[in-house]
Amino acid sequence: MSTESDRGAVNASQTVTEKDREFLRGCVGLAQEALTAGDEPFGSLLVDESGTVRFRDRNRVKDGDATRHPEFEIARWAAENLSPHERRTSVVYTSGEHCPMCSAAHAWVG
Ligand SMILES: [Zn+2]
């Protein structure tokens, strides 16, 4: 789980910036894409410390795999493609609060 100092390293002021809003609108767009495809409306982005979107996905549970949440896909992708430092300094933007499965996956991959 993250500590107070981990969170402070990512966003010391906890202020929502216009860039944050842009990323959140991107998540809502992915959620809309999921809904249009007949899935549950959730979407998420992983943004690195330079502000670059490194991975994005939407919910894909409609075909029977209940683990296909975008936040879980981010955790899998990050574990395979990012260093521990990159994972620790990246930010996940998502259209809804993480479920317990995804929260645990993010904790495990840092
Ligand atoms: Zn989830």
Instruction: Provide the CATH number for the domain around residue 66.
Output: 3.40.140.10
- The number of distinct structural domains making up the chain is 1
* Cα-to-centroid distance, 60 and ligand 1 (Å): 11
* Cα-to-centroid distance, 100 and ligand 1 (Å): 7
pLDDT tens string 53-99: 999 999 999 999 999 999 999 999 999 999 999 999 999 999 999 99
Under DSSP, the state recorded for 99 is P
Domain extent, residue 9, equals 4-109
What is the residue type of 60? R
* Cα-to-centroid distance, 14 and ligand 1 (Å): 23
Half-sphere CA count of 36, side-chain side, radius 13 A: 8
The reported pLDDT for the residue numbered 9 is 47
The reported pLDDT for the residue numbered 65 is 96
- What is the percent of the chain with per-residue pLDDT over 90, rounded to a whole number? 86
What is the residue type of 31? A
* Cα-to-centroid distance, 16 and ligand 1 (Å): 23
CB atoms within 10 A of CB 13: 7
* Cα-to-centroid distance, 39 and ligand 1 (Å): 14
